[in-house]
Structure 1
Amino acid sequence: MIDSIQDSSGRDAQRLDWARGALGDPHATLERASVDAGFRSYWRSRGHGGSRIVMDSPPALEDVGPWLAMRDLLESGGVRVPQVLARDVDNGFLVLEDLGGPTLAQMMDAENADAWFDAAIGQLLRLQAIAPPAGMGEFGEALLQRDAGLFDEWFLQRHLGITLDCGESDELELAQRRLMDNALSQARVLTHRDFMPRNLMPTTPGPAVLDFQDCVRGPIAYDAVSLFKDAFLSWPLARVDEWLSRYHQRAQDAGLPVPSWETFLRDADWMGIQRHLKILGIFARLHYRDGKSKYLPDVPRFIDYLDEVLPRYPQLAALQRLLDGRIRPAMRSKAAP
């Protein structure tokens, strides 16, 4: 523990010293700008010349190179991303433009959502038009299997204490197999995997896209449904369907490989269900493994998402039975005093 504290203190001093030199301000100070960025940390500078964001990505823990490479790739395709003002790749330090405090999730409301989502769709279409580079990671079978395991292990078993019998387990596996096959059958494009209002900044032009370092080659419906069925912000299903329709028309006009509207709506719904199940598992894992409990209150949001679309698809009736017969009673029992 003492070594850890000393290492942290040394990194703090190194970060501040580098930032003052890069900013040309020997009296600049740094304050924490955000959390939950993996091993990276973000700091807002205070001093002469306006604020900047200092990214600290310790080389032994998280190489800043892939972040920079993806930023440059997105910028080359016209996507609005943070500008890099200074860099020390060897030591894992960057100075970025300060895009401000509130994210799009904090700025949106029922009145301005149409305009902001139209702007976000524009950024998404630019992102999806970029050819995934050779060697890029794939949102394929391995990732889908991992996601399916998160739901069963962490949400059902660990959080709710549910052990499925053989028949229930087979039904869940079949439903998840159908979701995976659907994802694997979709056209593949550059995929952000967390393209949601919390990772978009209300800039002009914009919105600016953040948290893009884990882009992969993946299903075309993934980012669209992530945008409108956010982990922290919900909208009526009728509005979501309308926004998905707007995205679909604009993607067609841009020459992106979307299928017919009926097929795309199913693909988006099923991709959303797969993502919602994964997120339920991740939120439970964050609570039990990582001691981060602030996400659990959003669990009902994902149950509502499932309730909205599962009735549309008899092929996934097993998930509805699991939701009604096991998950909902377990959640009521867990919430009881």
Structure 2
Amino acid sequence: MTPPAGAAAFVAEAGWSDARIEPLAGDASFRRYFRVVGAGRSAVLMDAPPAYEDSRPFLAVADHLLDLGFAPPRILARDLAQGLVLLEDFGDARMAEVIAADQRRERPIYEAAIDLLRDLHRYPAGPFAPYDLATYQREAALFTDWYMPAVGLDPAPGYAEAWNAALDGICTDHSITVLRDYHAENIMLLPDGSLGLLDFQDALAGHPAYDLVSLLQDARRDVSPELEAAMLDHYGPVDRTAYALLGAQRNAKILGIFTRLWKRDGKPRYLAYQPRIWGYMERDLAHPSLEPVARWFDAYIPREKRAAFWSDFRP
């Protein structure tokens, strides 16, 4: 977490010559974050190396959300050639940690997060690419490409065909903006009571159920079935078939991504989340709409290669 070579000059040019640059966080991508602190103020420096990350989608989605009245971090300065962006600092009151410190706040905070989605879904989709069948299939294939070989399973036929059968119709809904990573580690509680949004650069035009799944089947923290059901009721009418389908698709993707983070990127800490993701996955696969996919999993993914595999696993 050493700042990139051009960071000091960049923040100085932005008017922060008196500031310190302190490590803040890394994430599952190649992006890193630093806090810029000085003279009673602070900002966040995003380091997104251009060889690996394109910051333009982040900036475009931030502008779109801001125009609609939501709260992405405001952009204070940018140098896309270096992959450096100076952002408004939302502080440290992240949804996940706030709830962990006071469990009594869980339900009202989740209700606020659901309210934000409901408000966002009142607007038509922004100028983003559609969440189409090819994208759903490419993401679902991360399971067969990375997860199966990691647990010692050979390739198996019929996976894409099972998803085609299940997703028929869902992939044609491009009605709203899907943030795609809307969960408790990407939602900030701001001093004015509103919610700040992070990590939305992969936004697409897609189905309203997707971000509900992202929030309520959170890979990084337990969301009880009772809270999940209550929040779906709080949202209002929800297409429960779409919710289960997109839940299974997303969880298959995440199982593959977290395995890839271990195998390719040397980040084994994400493996601790695999049993939780399998718990969500099993609930989704029980829905009748997932019958083709559930049948494939039953045929080719033994129970001992699911959640149980990771419970005592040490990379």
Shorter chain as normaliser: what TM range? Answer: 0.7 to 0.9
1:301 aligns with 2:276: yes
Task: Give the unaligned 5+ runs of structure 1.
Answer: 1-7, 250-260
What are the Cα deviations for residues 42-75 of structure 1, in whole angstroms up to 9, with x where unaligned? 2111321222212234455544333222111101
Aligned pair count reads 309
Once residues 151 and 188 of structure 2 are traced to their aligned partners in structure 1, the CA distance between those partners, rounded to angstroms, is 35
Matched to 2:227, the amino acid is R
- Deviation per residue, 1:198-233 (Å, 9 max, x gap): 111111342111111111111121001111111111
Amino acid at match of 2:114: I
Asked whether the 8 Å contact 2:4–2:47 carries over to 1, the reply is: no
Structure 1 residues 96 and 330: alpha-carbon distance in aligned structure 2, compared to 1, 3 A threshold: closer
Q: Helix, strand or coil: the match of 1:241?
A: helix
| 1:11-26 to 2 correspondences below 5 Å | 12-26=4-18
Identify if the C-alpha distance between structure 1 residues 90 and 238 changes in structure 2 by more than 3 Å, giving closer, same or farther: same
Q: Percent identical across equivalent pairs?
A: 30
Alignment match, 1:290? 265
Aligned Cα RMSD in Å? 2.8
Structure of larger gyration radius: 1
Q: How does 1:56-75 map to 2 (within 5 A)?
A: 56-59=47-50, 61-75=52-66
Alpha-carbon spacing, 1:33–1:336, altered in 2? closer, same or farther (3 Å): closer
Change (3 A) 1:52 1:281: same
Check if 1:115 corresponds to 2:114: no
C-alpha distance in 2 between matches for 1:127 and 1:336? 40
TM-score relative to the length of structure 2: 0.86
1:44 correspondence with 2:35: yes
- TM-score, reference length from structure 1: 0.81
Deviation at residue 174 of structure 1 after TM alignment:
4.3
Asked whether the 8 Å contact 1:29–1:47 carries over to 2, the reply is yes
Match of 1:224 among 212, 215, 220: 212
Measured after TM superposition, the shift of residue 294 of structure 1 is 0.7
Change (3 A) 1:187 1:246: farther
Q: Give the AA of the match of 2:35.
A: R
Letter matched to residue 185 of structure 2: R
Query: Greater helix share, 1 or 2?
Result: 1
Quote the Cα distance in structure 2 between the aligned partners of 1:336 and 1:17.
Answer: 45
Specify whether residues 91 and 311 from structure 1 end up closer, same or farther in structure 2 by C-alpha distance, changes over 3 A only.
closer
* 1:74-117 deviation digits (Å, cap 9, x = unpaired): 01111111122334455543322211124211222542122111
The answer to whether the Cα contact below 8 Å between 1:121 and 1:247 also exists between their aligned partners in 2 is yes
Identify the residue that residue 177 of structure 1 maps to in structure 2. 164
Out of 215, 220, 228, the residue aligned to residue 240 of structure 1 is 228
Aligned to 1:4: none
Measure, in 2, the Cα distance between the counterparts of 1:336 and 1:36: 22
Aligned-partner Cα distance in 1 for 2:97–2:201: 22
The superposition leaves residues 256-285 of structure 1 with CA deviations (integer Å, 9 ceiling, x where unpaired) of xxxxx5xx1221122101111111111111
> 1:303, CA displacement in angstroms?
1.4
Rate the CA distance shift 1:58–1:76 in 2: closer, same or farther, 3 A.
same
In the alignment, what sits opposite 1:214?
202
